[in-house]
């Protein structure tokens, strides 16, 4: 699955979703994690809040999960409606630590929300191969 992390330094999940200038995208499985690319979300000339959120979501649209330090209720609903699962990280949580926690969930008894994402991700991969 693809995971976007709101980060100002590429190490910590330390950015508010709506204020993040970039997101680091990782491909994560239960046993592997690899950096894919940095997604630029630095356009800040958008005045309308709804348009700004739509722009931010558009930058992370390929992600299955999006980690950030904070996210407002409207943004959270919009992210979920885009089939991206928003996650709040612990204060100054490291990206690598967040990945390890997620992998531990995958290897153990994953909660229903994570199983849905895994199955949706597999469906995306199968569709892309066809």
pTM score: 0.90
Domains of the chain by start residue, with CATH: 2-129 (3.30.420.130)
Residue with tokens 């199955």: 119
The answer to whether the CB of 31 falls within 8 A of the CB of 48 is: no
51/90 Cα distance (integer angstroms): 28
Other CB atoms within 10 Å distance of the CB of residue 85: 19
- Residue whose C-alpha is closest to residue 53's, from 4, 86, 14, 19: 19
> What are the tokens at 69?
């330090």
Helical residues (DSSP H) of the chain, grouped into ranges:
49-59, 73-81, 95-107, 112-129
3-state secondary structure of 48: coil
Tens of pLDDT along the chain (130 residues)?
999 999 999 999 999 999 999 999 999 999 999 999 999 999 877 888 889 999 999 999 999 999 999 999 999 999 999 999 999 999 889 999 999 999 999 998 899 999 999 888 855 554 443 3
């Amino acid at each position: 699955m693809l995971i976007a992390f709101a980060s100002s330094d590429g190490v910590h999940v330390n950015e508010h979703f709506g204020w993040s200038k970039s997101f680091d995208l990782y491909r994560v499985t239960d046993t592997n994690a690899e950096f894919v690319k940095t997604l630029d979300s630095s356009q800040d000339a958008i005045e309308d809040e709804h348009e700004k959120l739509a722009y931010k979501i558009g930058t992370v649209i390929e992600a299955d999960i999006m980690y950030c330090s904070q996210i407002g209720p409207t943004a959270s609903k919009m992210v979920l409606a885009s089939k991206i699962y928003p996650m709040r990280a612990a204060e100054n949580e490291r990206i690598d630590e967040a990945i390890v926690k997620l992998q531990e969930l995958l290897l153990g008894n994953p909660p229903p929300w994570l199983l849905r994402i895994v199955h949706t991700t597999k469906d995306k991969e199968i569709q892309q191969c066809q």
